[in-house]
Amino acid sequence: MPVKTKKSQRVPDASGYFGPFGGQFVPETVMGALEELCTVYAKLRKDPEFKKEFRELLEGYAGRPTMLYPAKRLSKALGIHQIYLKREDLLHTGAHKINNALGQVLLAKRMGKKRIIAETGAGQHGVATATACALMGIDCEVFMGVEDMERQRLNVVRMQLMGAKVVPVTSGTQTLKDACSEAIRDWVTHVEHTHYCIGSVVGPHPYPMMVRDFQAVIGQEARKQIIKETGRLPHALVACVGGGSNAMGLFYPFQEDKAVELYGVEAGGVGMSLGKHSATLVKGRPGVLHGAYSTLLQDEQGQVAVTESVSAGLDYPGVGPEHAYYQWTQRAQYVSVSDKQALKGCQLLCETEGILPALESSHAIAFLPKLAEKLPKKAIVILNLSGRGDKDVTTLANELYPDASK
Ligand SMILES: *Cc1c(COP(=O)(O)O)cnc(C)c1O
């Protein structure tokens, strides 16, 4: 039965549960490291000095606050009163992931760790982590499937330029899932001097909470900006959902504002049968993946499904436990749009506003026509533009202008 979140019910609880979701489903050997992280983070999240240092990095290095941009021509084209774009695409390195990377690398330094490890699929989290490590002068190793290394060569070079070591993972399907397993294996053996930097609101407690807190700056700014600009709260928030960090970062500071509708948009890929999409909350069932109990895409036997999406950043069979909780409590609604619709969303923003969005963010844009049907006349909508699309130009060329090279 759906339950209502009351202000008194802060999530997660002390064991890292968001209702039934979350927790720590990890080998015994990792428990010590997680406990240490929980203890340190519980202290640091209230430490004024840490908060100040983090804020200085966000403002003085990453480029915060990001603007809340009124997209007038886009609004007109869609028949929506006013759409505002939260411009995370304007951040250093081109997406919201730098918020979390700076937070975690700063935390690792405070813990006295000498080395950071991360896993990456599309390479975006790897680049953000390598960037933060270069800035703070700390060793960085990024685990990446060899299959992904070939597909995302540009990001491999970006990491190497930042002085990071990219470790090729040759096990299993040689993609993100195997890179995760390899990173955990490394962490277990080097835990006393190594911090494992996870890139979204996923993984065992305290990661979903910690990454959410680091990304919540998106929603904190947006909430202040929209009130200053319009004198009221928005009708709806829209964000794409891969692991769920940019969406949770925007949603979280609005969670008590019950009149504000929250929409998470997942990747519908090339069809809604298992294996053809990455719409985890729309189509998945509860289960354990990468250290947490959440919703995931799995077959009848409980085997984790393969996923598909035109955007590498959304191509993941799991999702953060707090999103599973928001869906369960009906605080947020989750929908999906197809590859084709996302490509159209990308073109629409380019042509109406002169802004090239990441293919991930394009999924959120592609949901707007559907949302427009049920919005009241004077509706204000905030859409999280999680990243810029320069990284996707090759994909866009192949998808939209396939004959150009002939
Ligand atoms: C990685 C990425 C995403 C998906 O990750 P979340 O944790 O769901 O935010 C979305 N947009 C961009 C631009 C990304 O790089």
The pLDDT of residue 151: 83
Nearest CA to ligand 1 atom 7: 245
204-252 pLDDT, tens digit each: 999 999 999 999 999 999 999 999 999 999 999 999 999 999 999 999 9
Tell me, in angstroms, the distance from the centre of ligand 1 to residue 353's CA: 21
What's the pTM? Answer: 0.96
In contact, 117 and 197? CB cutoff 8 Å: yes
Higher local confidence (pLDDT), 3 or 165: 165
pLDDT at 271 > cutoff 90: yes
Rg of the chain on CA atoms, in Å: 20
DSSP string for 84-124: EEEEGGGSGGGBTHHHHHHHHHHHHHHTT--EEEEE-SSSH
pLDDT at 355 > cutoff 60: yes
Q: What is the mean pLDDT of residues 103-109?
A: 98
| Ligand 1 binding pocket includes 236 (Cβ within 6 Å) | no
For the chain, what is the total number of helices (H) and then of strands (E)?
16, 14
Of the candidates 250, 249, 265, which has an alpha carbon nearest to the alpha carbon of residue 209?
Answer: 249
Sign of the alpha-carbon torsion through 389, 386, 262, 352: negative
Q: State the pLDDT confidence band at 3, using cuts at 50, 70 and 90.
A: very low
| Ligand 1 binding pocket includes 240 (Cβ within 6 Å) | yes
| Ligand 1 binding pocket includes 265 (Cβ within 6 Å) | no
Chain-wide mean pLDDT for the chain? 95
The pLDDT of residue 8: 47
Of the candidates 394, 327, 317, which has an alpha carbon nearest to the alpha carbon of residue 359?
Answer: 394
Helix 124-136, helix 153-161: angle, nearest 10: 10
Locate 167 and state its tokens.
Answer: 């470790």
The pLDDT of residue 406: 57
272-293 pLDDT, tens digit each: 999 999 999 999 999 999 999 9
Q: How many CB atoms lie within 10 A of CB 379?
A: 18
